[in-house]
Structure 1
Amino acid sequence: MINELGHFALVLAFVLSVLTGTLPLFALRRGWHGLAHLAVPATMLIAAFVFIAFAALISAFLASDFSLALVASHSHSAKPLIYKISGTWGNHEGSLLLWIVILALFGALLAMGGRGMAWALKIRTLAVQALISAGFLAFSLFTSNPFARLDPPPVDGRGLNPILQDPGLALHPPTLYLGYVGLSMAFAFAVAGLIEGRIDRDWARHMRPWVTAAWCALTIGIALGSWWAYYELGWGGWWFWDPVENASLMPWLAATALLHSTIVVEQRGTLKSWTVLLAILAFSLSLVGTFIVRSGLLTSVHSFASDPARGVFILGILMVAVGIPLLLFAVRGPQLVSRGDFNIISREGALILNNFLLTSATVVVLVGTFYPLGLEMVTGARITVGPPYFDATFNPIMGVLVAAMGIGPLLAWRRGTVPGTRRIITISGVITVVLGVAIAMATTAFASGISIAGIAGIGLLIWLGSAIIADITYRLKPAKAGVAARAARLPAPMIGMWTAHFGMVVFLAGAIGNGLFATEVVVRAMPGDVIDIAGRQMTLRTVEARQGPNYITETAVIELREDGRMLAVLTPEKRFYTAERQTTTEAAIRPRISGDDYAVLGDGTAETGYTLRLYRKPLVSWIWAGAGIMAIGGAVAGIARARRRPLSTRAARPADNAYDTGSTAENDDDAAQKAGV
């Protein structure tokens, strides 16, 4: 009965989505305001029906209701509770329903919120969002029904894919989907603005919280996926340029560009056409990721399905979602007049450079992901595009971007640099040169085989960190009220920007430290053997059988010592899941701020020895810490800006000093500069 209720709720949500996506737009065109306003309660009803359907599916997994084909295929009665819950979205049908749940949730949040938003823009945005929901609900109902029945039901299920039975995978998909669906809100705002023919600063102010939320969620989601791959897959890496990894990176790059271009629209009323186009393309790239994961077009450990029919359906959604808005953009885009009264050397110019570099990086990743597929279709030849391609193309672009990140915040809106810029750049440059030379000498860079690119990466890391510190120091220089009072008056968006940029510094420190100084040893060891790695000793004591909740293991006991002092006992495992009849590898990791000690157990016996892969990975945990700090910074800036009054209603007031604005606050543009955006 509960399953039928869930299925019926999905049908009702689909019907309501179609009506909500069409009737309010027609009503606004005819001036029937009463009918148009029904979009708000209808959106709430859609959310309620979708939540009922998702709750019914979770209930079926918790009850191990194997009469549902989805539960029978992806669950087992002996599976731990947390994996019964996460198993709901650890498959194609369930993850698609989770996507729809988040679509409905975001639509409901806009319906309940949107304080100060023009009601016509709100209605149109809700209508576009409802049409997106209708497309995915149709996909779920017609090709991927999560409530399909089995008759007769099996005695027990086949279980969840063992590599998905992990706490990280309970969090990674929902967080990533929050980012993807957040971009759907930006898309809905863009299309609604084009329909209305009005893209202005108020439009950007209401759209930017959704873009910020999407960017933060994508940052955390990608970081969680990278962290999961690092400790679960047992290959010791954190990024492999896998096609599905690339598919999540492209929307993140586009969202980063969109976030910065929205700033320009909100503060200066320029880059309108480009921002609308970015909003369309960013969501389109998230649909590309969905297409890759579910079509079987590209092979990846992340793929949910390999059904070409489903791929065709998603491709249809993608073509409609891209084609119609781009056609609308071609008609309305030329009418979007933007201001161009700014110097190239200004905050606007820096943000345009930011967008150019991020867009270029997105194109590089797109080509690297799909070129092998296109080549195979045309010539039949199969090639792999991996790290060498991205090292030669993607990394230089991002290097220029990091260099620009140290200068962009020092520029004023419209008219060049602010006082103190030259001093900050000089100080940062001197620090970069001095520390760079010192580090190169201390590590005997050339003698140890560190490349020029590695040295350049270290230099960029020092440059960005010193620029942030110099900027903060200059802004906090003692005034009459003292440093503490000056710090208290700093705008929260500025603090958020510093935090996000500092997160990039931490991320780079982790990526560069791990990339340049990691150590790997692969050996065939017998119990009692001692292996030296990075000045430490790992002793294989024994390999023993153990029993888990729903698996049995071969567990190695490895003692880690340094100068005879016991540091830890590592227990890497090979797990055999009896229900799924699959074997997985579980790495043993000793995480520390200075770096991780990492051990993986391979094949072998007590007679022939065991294969061990041992790693020392300096600063690797800083990669995920940096991503977390970036997300926190984005959230701080986003929340602070969401609480601000519209720029058009704020009276201009004199600046604290010329450094904040570049001059006195003559108008809203100058007042905006005080906010550090």
Structure 2
Amino acid sequence: MIAELGHFTLVLAMVVAFLQGTLPLWGAARRQAPLVELAPAAALLQFTLVTLAFLALLNAHLASDFSLAIVYQNSHSTKPLLYKFSGVWGNHEGSLVLWVWILALFGAAVALFGRNLPRPFKARVLAVQGLIGLGFLAFSLFTSNPFARLDPAPLDGLGLNPILQDPGLAFHPPMLYLGYVGFSTAYSFAMAALIEGRVDAGWARWVRPWTLAAWMALTLGIALGSWWAYYTLGWGGFWFWDPVENASFMPWLAGTALLHSAIVVEKRDTLKSWTILLAILTFSLALLGTFLVRSGVLTSVHAFATDPSRGVFVLALLGIAVGGSLALYAWRAPALQGGGAFAPVSREGALLLNNLLLATATATVLLGTLYPLLLDGLGGPKISVGPPFFNATFLPLMVPLLVALPAGSMIAWKRGDLPGVLSRLGLAAAGTVAVLLAAALLADTRSTLGLMGFAAGAWVLLGSLNELAVRAGFFQVHPARAWRRLKGLPRSAFSMSLAHMGLGVLILGITATATGQTERILAMRPGETVALAGYEVTLASVEQVQGPNYAARRGTFAVQRNGAPVTTVHSEKRFFPVESMPVTKPGIHSTLLRDLYFVLGDPNSDGAWAVRLYHNPLVFWMWGGAGLMGLAGLVSLTDRRLRVGAPVPARGSRAATA
């Protein structure tokens, strides 16, 4: 009965989404206040209905109601409770309900916290959100019904993919969806602005917090996904330029460009047409990622659906959303003239360079991701585009961006003094040279690419610290006064430096891991010892253990350095009988400076075991850098000047407007 109520509320939510997407648009065009005021109420009602449907689906998983097809196909009575909970979105139908719920959540947030938005504009924003919700609710109900019943009901389920039975699944997909779906708000703001034919500094102030929230969530979601792949899949790496990984990375690149472009619109009233286009393209890339994951054109550990009918439906949604928005943009964009002029050497010029490089990088990743699919669809040979292509094309585009970043953050608006800015970056330059020399002394990082990576990471990190010191007046005023000035900096300014510092730390971690990794693949017998990057690793034992819903062989590795014990690491080869699938669980010992990463493989006929041993330097720096970037977004959102909406007008002005 609860499942039927959930299905009914999902149908009601689709009806409400239709009303939300049509009547407020008509009311805003005809200046009919009741229809305009309908938009926030409809958004809140849609969120309530989708929440009830989501709770009904959650209840079915927790209660192991195998009369629902989705529970039967993706759960089992012996599955631990945590994975019954996270398994709600560990499949196509459930993840789509999560997607719609987050979409409704953002619409409700605009309804509640967008109080300073002009009412007709707010109605148009919520109407566009309603139309997006209508499309995805129809997709869920007509092609991916999560409440479909089985008759007769099976006694037990088929289980969940063992790779997805991990605590990371409870955090990675929701965070990733918050980023994906969050960019729909920026898209809705852009469409509302195009409908009204007006983009100004107020619009940029309104759209920035929503874009920032989505960017922050997507940053953390990608980092969590990379971390999950690192500690779960057992291949010793963290990023493989998988097409579905690229599907989340492309909206992040475009969203980063959008964040910086919106600053120019707000501060200088220029780049308006370009910023609107970026808002459209960012969400379009998020929809493209949805198509790749759910169309069946990809085979990946990340992909959910293989039903071609679902792919056609998503492709139709993609065509309507992208085609319609670009058509409206082509009609309205010529009227969105920019404001003040600026010199090439200026803050505007630096942000424009940032946008051009990020847009080119996005196009490069898009080409490498889609070209094999297009070639296969046209009957050509099957090819794969992997890390060699992306490393050779994407990384060179990032070099000028990273080189210009510290100076671009310090240069003045309209017309800048580049020699003066570079002179103030002297300490950062000296520190970068010191890091470069230190890296050159390390035998495992003498490659040109490695040295460039260390120099770029150090330059961005130290340049951001240098920029904060210059803002606060260190070395110019008394230290006590400089500390007071540092504490008094706007949170948005502080968060910018924090985000750039996080990027520098991230680059250092990626460079150290990519160029300094030590790998040994060999066969070991219990009691045998091998050397690994200055450590002595002994396979102490291999024993049989029983998990809650799996059986495993557990390898115990004892690690020493110069004869002194360091740690003990356990790696398992698990077998899930319900799903009849083996899963490798690597053993990892982490410190701030390195990871010891051990993987137990299959036994050989002579009693030895296949093992893979890795020493990965500075891996934690990657996750720490991404965490700093996410924290920077959160700090910026707490800035009073960047709250949702424009500044509240004075009482007299409000009365005059009324």
Taking structure 1 as reference, are residues 449 and 120 closer, same or farther at Cα in structure 2, changes over 3 Å only?
A: closer
Q: Secondary structure at the match of 1:49?
A: helix
Please say if residues 439 and 451 of structure 2, whose CA atoms lie closer than 8 Å, have aligned partners that are also in contact: no
Please say if residues 114 and 645 of structure 2, whose CA atoms lie closer than 8 Å, have aligned partners that are also in contact: no
Q: Secondary structure at the match of 2:88?
A: coil
Cα deviations by residue, 1:122-165 (Å, 9 ceiling, x for unpaired): 00000000000000000000000000000001100011110000
Match of 2:306 in 1: 306
CA deviation after TM superposition for structure 1 residue 543, in Å? 1.0
Match of 2:128 in 1: 128
CA deviation after TM superposition for structure 1 residue 269, in Å? 1.0
Match of 2:654 in 1: none
Query: Which deviates the most, 461-470 or 347-356?
Result: 461-470
Match of 2:381 in 1: 381
Taking structure 1 as reference, are residues 341 and 449 closer, same or farther at Cα in structure 2, changes over 3 Å only?
A: closer
TM-score under structure 2 length normalisation: 0.96
Taking structure 1 as reference, are residues 606 and 381 closer, same or farther at Cα in structure 2, changes over 3 Å only?
A: closer
Match of 1:158 in 2: 158
Query: Which deviates the most, 181-190 or 606-615?
Result: 606-615
Query: Are residue 474 (structure 1) and residue 470 (structure 2) matched?
Result: yes
Match of 2:356 in 1: 356
How far apart, in 2, do the equivalents of 1:40 and 1:419 lie? Answer: 52
Please say if residues 208 and 259 of structure 1, whose CA atoms lie closer than 8 Å, have aligned partners that are also in contact: yes
TM-score under structure 1 length normalisation: 0.93
How far apart, in 1, do the equivalents of 2:554 and 2:257 lie? Answer: 46
How far apart, in 2, do the equivalents of 1:150 and 1:513 lie? Answer: 52
CA deviation after TM superposition for structure 1 residue 645, in Å? 8.9
CA deviation after TM superposition for structure 1 residue 282, in Å? 0.3
Aligned pair count reads 646
Cα deviations by residue, 1:216-239 (Å, 9 ceiling, x for unpaired): 000000000000000000000000
How far apart, in 2, do the equivalents of 1:150 and 1:211 lie? Answer: 42
How far apart, in 2, do the equivalents of 1:649 and 1:37 lie? Answer: 20
How far apart, in 2, do the equivalents of 1:525 and 1:168 lie? Answer: 31
Q: Secondary structure at the match of 1:383?
A: coil
How far apart, in 2, do the equivalents of 1:539 and 1:488 lie? Answer: 51
CA deviation after TM superposition for structure 1 residue 196, in Å? 1.0
Structure 1 gap segments, 5+ residues each: 651-677
Please say if residues 361 and 394 of structure 2, whose CA atoms lie closer than 8 Å, have aligned partners that are also in contact: yes
CA deviation after TM superposition for structure 1 residue 375, in Å? 2.1
Structural RMSD (CA):
1.7
Please say if residues 116 and 648 of structure 2, whose CA atoms lie closer than 8 Å, have aligned partners that are also in contact: no
1:132-281 aligned within 5 A: 132-281=132-281
Q: Secondary structure at the match of 1:544?
A: strand
Return the match for 2:454 from 452, 458, 475. 458
Match of 1:537 in 2: 536
Q: Secondary structure at the match of 1:571?
A: strand
Q: Secondary structure at the match of 1:385?
A: coil
Please say if residues 265 and 271 of structure 2, whose CA atoms lie closer than 8 Å, have aligned partners that are also in contact: yes
Cα deviations by residue, 1:3-28 (Å, 9 ceiling, x for unpaired): 00000000000011011101111122
How far apart, in 1, do the equivalents of 2:225 and 2:583 lie? Answer: 17
CA deviation after TM superposition for structure 1 residue 437, in Å? 3.0
AA matched with 2:172: H
Please say if residues 347 and 413 of structure 1, whose CA atoms lie closer than 8 Å, have aligned partners that are also in contact: yes
Q: Secondary structure at the match of 1:34?
A: helix
Match of 2:394 in 1: 394
Please say if residues 510 and 622 of structure 1, whose CA atoms lie closer than 8 Å, have aligned partners that are also in contact: yes
Query: Which deviates the most, 287-296 or 133-142?
Result: 287-296
CA deviation after TM superposition for structure 1 residue 571, in Å? 1.1
AA matched with 1:549: P
How far apart, in 1, do the equivalents of 2:438 and 2:75 lie? Answer: 56
Match of 1:635 in 2: 634
Query: Which deviates the most, 427-436 or 250-259?
Result: 427-436
How far apart, in 2, do the equivalents of 1:644 and 1:408 lie? Answer: 27
How far apart, in 2, do the equivalents of 1:174 and 1:468 lie? Answer: 31
Cα deviations by residue, 1:518-564 (Å, 9 ceiling, x for unpaired): 10000111111111110111111221110101111011111111111
AA matched with 1:479: V
Cα deviations by residue, 1:441-470 (Å, 9 ceiling, x for unpaired): x225xxx57322221112212222222222
Cα deviations by residue, 1:393-415 (Å, 9 ceiling, x for unpaired): 00011121111111111111112
Match of 2:494 in 1: 495
How far apart, in 2, do the equivalents of 1:284 and 1:214 lie? Answer: 14
CA deviation after TM superposition for structure 1 residue 643, in Å? 4.1
Match of 1:519 in 2: 518
Match of 1:485 in 2: 484
Please say if residues 556 and 571 of structure 2, whose CA atoms lie closer than 8 Å, have aligned partners that are also in contact: yes
How far apart, in 2, do the equivalents of 1:450 and 1:406 lie? Answer: 25
Q: Secondary structure at the match of 2:28?
A: helix
How far apart, in 1, do the equivalents of 2:186 and 2:555 lie? Answer: 50
How far apart, in 2, do the equivalents of 1:598 and 1:510 lie? Answer: 16
AA matched with 1:219: T
Structure 2 gap segments, 5+ residues each: 651-658
Q: Secondary structure at the match of 1:554?
A: strand
Query: Are residue 88 (structure 1) and residue 88 (structure 2) matched?
Result: yes
Query: Which deviates the most, 480-489 or 135-144?
Result: 480-489
Aligned-residue sequence identity (percent) comes to: 52
How far apart, in 1, do the equivalents of 2:75 and 2:434 lie? Answer: 58
Cα deviations by residue, 1:477-523 (Å, 9 ceiling, x for unpaired): 25367222222222211110111000011101110111111100001
Match of 1:612 in 2: 611
AA matched with 1:456: M
How far apart, in 1, do the equivalents of 2:503 and 2:160 lie? Answer: 36
How far apart, in 2, do the equivalents of 1:606 and 1:186 lie? Answer: 59
Match of 1:668 in 2: none
Query: Which deviates the most, 174-183 or 21-30?
Result: 21-30
How far apart, in 1, do the equivalents of 2:366 and 2:504 lie? Answer: 26
Match of 2:116 in 1: 116
Taking structure 1 as reference, are residues 492 and 458 closer, same or farther at Cα in structure 2, changes over 3 Å only?
A: same
Match of 2:329 in 1: 329
Please say if residues 526 and 606 of structure 1, whose CA atoms lie closer than 8 Å, have aligned partners that are also in contact: no
Please say if residues 209 and 639 of structure 1, whose CA atoms lie closer than 8 Å, have aligned partners that are also in contact: no
Please say if residues 424 and 467 of structure 1, whose CA atoms lie closer than 8 Å, have aligned partners that are also in contact: no
Cα deviations by residue, 1:181-237 (Å, 9 ceiling, x for unpaired): 110000000001111111111111111111000000000000000000000000000
AA matched with 1:193: A
